[in-house]
Structure 1
């Protein structure tokens, strides 16, 4: 029996042949650039996958180790390698909030809009999960989809609101994210209300959020607040006080312009004060 077991063939890709974590993985994760360079020069593979298909580049990006990520890429690391959950190194760098890593990966051809699966979030989702507004700005600049849809979270705006990251919410809204996007009929405003974020509630409504939207349980955003709380008072005020014609006009203009708004508004031949107002400044 022992002889049979010892003679059994194993192939690359079988779980038994995967390294739990190679020295290259460790050096990349710890930011040991000199050690990593030595391993690469000694012939170590930069694309060896550990359990869950994690590559050394995933490890470096998750820890924000830009120098190691650059060494790996220079040595031929696959920039869009996916782990078992479908996450790319760009997703990991975005989650970690490493702006330098994100910029490096994009410069090397990483896709800002990777194909999503039921288990995958986009790099923009990951940035919003971590509240990394600078990464959000950079990803939007290179064309990251504002409406990328994740089955668990919804859109990046849903994520930013659910996790209470007001700075990310502002960046997304100014870039033209759909304020009334839904997941199971739940809007970003439902999340902001549930999290008692008054500033976020005000921001969403000013951008045209529907305060009467009902989710799959027939609840309005107000229904998710605690009676007597500042967030409840804020939503009640909006319900009893219609938006001004000025506010409605801004929402209409911004809705019409969509993702082109910030670029187009500055080209309009109108007073600077109006431009500032249209840009929510």
Structure 2
């Protein structure tokens, strides 16, 4: 009902609370189909950013509904965003949601266009977060890596710190004049991968 009536903030609250994104009514109408049928572009964008299915209902696809009911701007957006993953919805994502997707392991390189390609030169916090997540691991990008990568980085940093403390290394005592911790900052960018390709 919230999607059918275009109640964007209500839809947002329901999705944040874990509402089933593709739960259809008894007649087969999905939330995305109802939003598209009634021309609610911002609701459709929000649903799509949560991964709403664009599959056909008994009444057709959401794209067909928008076209048939004369919602040209919505129909055009649905066509343009066909290959997007949830992370590619940069204009719809809040910084908190973009961070959550990145920390959950959302790919920067999947979809067409990819989230990283959409973020290149894009404005807004979500685009900036995607660009920062694409950089090699560093203390500044650490929080945007998936849990396994963050745990690996923490383990490596702790290991380097323990080596440094155990052997009392400093810049003068380390091989080639490089302190163990400086070495760590140089190496971790290569040792910690955001995605397995």
Q: Give the TM-score normalised by the residue count of structure 1.
A: 0.33
Higher relative contact order by CA 8 Å / sep ≥ 6: 1 or 2? 2
TM-score by length of 2: 0.45
**Whose radius of gyration is greater, 1 or 2?**
1
